[in-house]
Structure 1
């Protein structure tokens, strides 16, 4: 799930590009679609009152059980469906596979987070986490990563093929399952993946892992670090020295000194920035870091809020590029960019605000997700119609992100 980040509230049909959950530098060539989106955007903000769209914001922020239950049931329907690459229309067979993987990974995180908030759902939602893990373990879901590396991420843990785009995200879900269930049936696999990630990080002169051959994305490494930090909390292992060194290296080399935002891409040979600091990677990355390094996560949140966060007629919006970048072009990392505001950065910031306790801006951002996500309630469930399986899974994870998980002790019985 490489910047494992997709646009949580847009349709699955987008120009060929790297999915937000797995970022590559790609461009959106269909100017007509952006014109149409801009027209709908302008019409929407003038015709639909912000307060109507934000009316559930406070309830979502405080963990309203009825709202979380409805979305959980909607996401459960998606992950209980026999999903395949054909359910996604990115224009790329590989990217469709990334979105398939991302759906199960982020859905599993949402189910786990709701266990923290509503312990009475524990049995069923841990079972659903397990179902998501089982789907990720199938060859069909692992195939996109195997095709790119020409080897399987789980069958080559003793090798030097980093597979950060798959293993970092998947291991975060495994560590979370073990955090909630000390007797997790996936404990041995969690041990093996964590050991491989630690060994590969220590071997890397950049202290970064490659998502794909010759491609390094800091946001994916945030998932790697989050998975190791949460593993320590689940098992009592101690990788504090590695986490400390990684945090220091990230601050000095992989965060822009002017904006304090995370660079989107790093040159795999030199370690120099290969792309601008951006909102989509920063806001998803700080979510992952909240599981291992709450201080660094908060620093990135404060930078994103200051540099990128805005309000437009009451609706919360987040820029994809800082104001100092004048020629930033949208790709699938960002989703569509309208007037400089990125759909993905806006969606990921919902989780960031909940983690770092910004209730007012959370509600503004939720109103935007409501406006463009078109939620539809039916049969006790909720579906954000424009999101599809990945968009709904991402919103589920962001809307239920936990403010105190980074310091919470293991939640087992």
Structure 2
């Protein structure tokens, strides 16, 4: 009864505050998007050790995601506004530079002097790096990263084909399905740009995933497959939303199917908003873990934020707006003439560059296509 009363209170409060907002999601205006991009560009460009916001993360993995999701957001923006393409290429190259040297690189490989195709074992690092390289090649046909992009793509393809479960480790002994979807998206983009054969394996992986990497009850992707080092882990909201981001890039029909199942088994529709659970049918309130963050009645911030991006990608505009309302309720914009960033509503807390990059990617999700020769 207490749980039900709390849910009713949340719904009523949010309904009063946001009932007047538009019923369907629309992309932010180009000026607003550029201000958000300028904030991320400043963070990326700051010399290592001087970017207070990145240093505050204290986690090489989160710094990696700040770089990668910024690049994906810039690429989205260039698709929505071709006049931003040159800036997007410049900003993405800066982010790649941070991936290839310094703390991020050192955390994921033994030698910081080279980025040879087999110098790294982590699919978490390699997948995001390779997708960023593809983004730059998409934005700039004369990208200096072509050779590296080709070699990393070949290495990823070779290793994924022969790997147990067709999934590679993110850390020694640790395999996560979401990290592998990033690598697969990078292979699809390489095929789109060069005509390479990797797209065929991406489709083979989907067939395999349906049979061997999915929960038999819900049909949703597992968070972890069973290996000799780990037990399988059930589907989780934060992991599903992450995976759907990248499934959209190489298997859009499968992404749409997973999105519908995710919505069916993990979400509650309150009319003006929709909330997503971290674990299906679970209503715990706790600190959660590093992936979910705090849980309130089983709902997690990442599960809802990623679902928002999924809805934008799949053109579910009404649901995207429901989820955008949830995000707007908990955040406030901090605006200057040059930049827009976010703070936490009701308390004086800043939002990390990782959250900024994730949200900018989510609110701009759109297909990636090579520009016409006239552009």
TM (norm. structure 2) is 0.86
**Aligned with 2:171 (options 212, 215, 218):** 212
- 1:109 alignment counterpart: 72
Q: Report Cα offsets for 1:69-100 as digits up to 9, x if no partner.
A: 2322232232233355974556xx5xx11111
Answer whether contact 1:75 1:107 (CA < 8 A) is retained.
Answer: yes
How far the C-alpha of 1:62 sits from its partner, in A, is 3.5
SS of corresponding position for 1:332: coil
- 1:199 alignment counterpart: 158
SS of corresponding position for 2:335: strand
Q: C-alpha separation between the residues in 2 aligned to 1:184 and 1:212? A: 30
What aligned pairs does 1:8-407 form with structure 2 within 5 A after superposition? 49=15, 52=18, 55=21, 58=24, 61-82=26-47, 84=49, 87-88=54-55, 96-146=59-109, 150=110, 155=115, 157-158=117-118, 162-269=121-228, 274-312=232-270, 314-323=272-281, 330-385=288-343, 386-402=350-366, 404-405=367-368
Q: C-alpha separation between the residues in 1 aligned to 2:203 and 2:258? A: 16
The alignment yields a C-alpha RMSD, in angstroms, of 2.9
Structure 2 unaligned regions, length at least 5: 1-5, 344-349
Q: Report Cα offsets for 1:22-71 as digits up to 9, x if no partner.
A: xxxxxxxxxxxxxxxxxx9998766565654883785x634532332232
Answer whether contact 1:233 1:410 (CA < 8 A) is retained.
Answer: no
SS of corresponding position for 1:285: helix
How far the C-alpha of 1:171 sits from its partner, in A, is 0.8
How far the C-alpha of 1:101 sits from its partner, in A, is 1.2
Q: Which moved more, 1:79-88 or 1:136-145?
A: 79-88
SS of corresponding position for 2:340: strand
Shift of the 332–186 alpha-carbon distance from structure 1 to 2, 3 Å rule, reads same
Q: Report Cα offsets for 1:95-143 as digits up to 9, x if no partner.
A: x111111111111111111000000111112111111111111132212
Shift of the 223–116 alpha-carbon distance from structure 1 to 2, 3 Å rule, reads same
Q: C-alpha separation between the residues in 2 aligned to 1:110 and 1:183? A: 21
How far the C-alpha of 1:370 sits from its partner, in A, is 1.4
Q: C-alpha separation between the residues in 1 aligned to 2:226 and 2:365? A: 31
Shift of the 74–45 alpha-carbon distance from structure 1 to 2, 3 Å rule, reads farther
SS of corresponding position for 1:374: strand
Answer whether contact 1:264 1:281 (CA < 8 A) is retained.
Answer: yes
Q: C-alpha separation between the residues in 2 aligned to 1:368 and 1:303? A: 21
Residues matched between the structures, number:
361
Q: C-alpha separation between the residues in 1 aligned to 2:227 and 2:116? A: 21
SS of corresponding position for 2:170: coil
Q: Report Cα offsets for 1:301-331 as digits up to 9, x if no partner.
A: 1111211222447333211111279899821
Q: Which moved more, 1:116-125 or 1:329-338?
A: 329-338
How far the C-alpha of 1:295 sits from its partner, in A, is 1.6
SS of corresponding position for 1:291: helix
Structure 1 unaligned regions, length at least 5: 1-39
SS of corresponding position for 2:250: coil
Q: C-alpha separation between the residues in 2 aligned to 1:292 and 1:183? A: 24
Answer whether contact 2:220 2:258 (CA < 8 A) is retained.
Answer: yes
Q: C-alpha separation between the residues in 1 aligned to 2:333 and 2:28? A: 18
Q: C-alpha separation between the residues in 2 aligned to 1:219 and 1:330? A: 19
Answer whether contact 2:308 2:324 (CA < 8 A) is retained.
Answer: yes
Shift of the 42–80 alpha-carbon distance from structure 1 to 2, 3 Å rule, reads farther
